[in-house]
Structure 1
């Protein structure tokens, strides 16, 4: 029996339509879909825990609220981590911090993140056909400024959260503690190597 509600179907249809519309404007989307052709990726936000399944083909992306088979890769992440998926260098940090859980190949996650977040769209050109060059230029400029402010505030909030976790709540070690621990590990490794060398000398 299906657990998918009419609302789930509506969400899937909305996300699917919006994503494929964006890909029609993205000159690089077809090549990125080709790299994931035939791949099924499940995604669930931890705050909602309602998975969506992305069925990727060269032509388009289909989105399902339920999939009976085994997905090639399943991703579970926090809502705020969605922004950091734009930077593949952040994936390891997201996994270590527990904000991102991956069941499958991390390379597939990287390719999927690129497919969703890095779109080569000339918004000004597309908008100019609808509203004219001047209005299109102003709209794109203001959207870029808003995006910069949003990213700035996000980075600030993330930094404050890190400080609270490491400095006030003491739930994670601070940078100096990590550096000290690494030094201790390095010293132990050197001591072990020295003991191994002495053991070899005695054995000979």
Structure 2
């Protein structure tokens, strides 16, 4: 079995099984009913076709026809697709390429990632209320700790790049540089205006001198 077929099968099964646990999945699929979206990661560069219906999401590696929307996104930008405010910036930065309705991108991202699943309730049916509650609390704590550690490492990395090895400018340095550029541009405009004024005066003087000379020649 080709790798893409295996990937499609795993992705399709995983998404639809999670949707069975997601109380909001049916309404989200209805919003995209009949929609075909071609999506690919920039790092992999081969499309997968998501065919969305009321009942489920089918994932194919080939599709004869034109999709309603084509999306190419970098892996690091996946978690930003739900936020309308970031879509324009992602497109400008090249992390996201869209051929089609940008609103479909957000709805599609929410369909795949914004799942409202009550894990504790589903686990309680398998292992009981107490164990399910403890497992979910431990998972929540672990997730929050991981997020906190990630943010701390990200902040420390930024400080190391800007303050220690000076590989990247700090925010203050960028602001100062921008101010200096603006000031330089303003000074250049003033200088250009002065040069233009002087040239204009000299041209006027030359014209006046020439007119007098022509008048004297005629006399």
Return the match for 1:43 from 39, 64, 67.
39
Query: 1:147 maps to which residue?
Result: 143
Q: Which has the larger radius of gyration?
A: 2
Structure 2 gaps of 5+ residues are 187-219
User: In 2, Cα distance between the equivalents of 1:124 and 1:8?
Assistant: 34
1:83–1:7: structure 2 CA closer, same or farther, 3 Å change rule? same
Q: Which residue of 1 aligns with 2:106?
A: 110
Kindly indicate whether the alpha-carbon contact (under 8 Å) linking 1:85 and 1:117 is maintained by their aligned counterparts in 2.
Answer: no
Report how many residues are paired. Answer: 180
Structure number with the higher helix fraction is: 2
Question: Distance in 1 between the 2:102 and 2:157 partners?
Answer: 26
- Give the corresponding residue for 2:29: 33
SS at structure 2 position matched to 1:67: coil
- Rounded Cα–Cα distance in structure 2 between residues aligned with 1:123 and 1:16: 20
Of 49, 55, 59 in structure 2, the residue corresponding to residue 53 of structure 1 is 49
SS in 1 for 2:75: coil
Q: Which residue, out of 76, 79, 97, partners 1:80?
A: 76
**Residue 86 of structure 1: how far off its partner (Å):** 4.0
Task: Note if 1:93 corresponds to 2:89.
Answer: yes
CA contact (8 A) 2:81 2:105 kept: no
Q: Deviations over 1:126-167 (max 9, x none)?
A: 001111112211221222223323434554566677789999
Shift of 1:6: 2.1
Q: Quote the Cα distance in structure 2 between the aligned partners of 1:72 and 1:65.
A: 16
Change (3 A) 1:67 1:161: farther
Displacement, 1:62? 0.2
Matches of 1:70 and 1:108 in 2, distance apart? 15
2:70–2:100 CA contact under 8 A, matched in 1: yes
Change beyond 3 A, Cα 1:150–1:98: farther
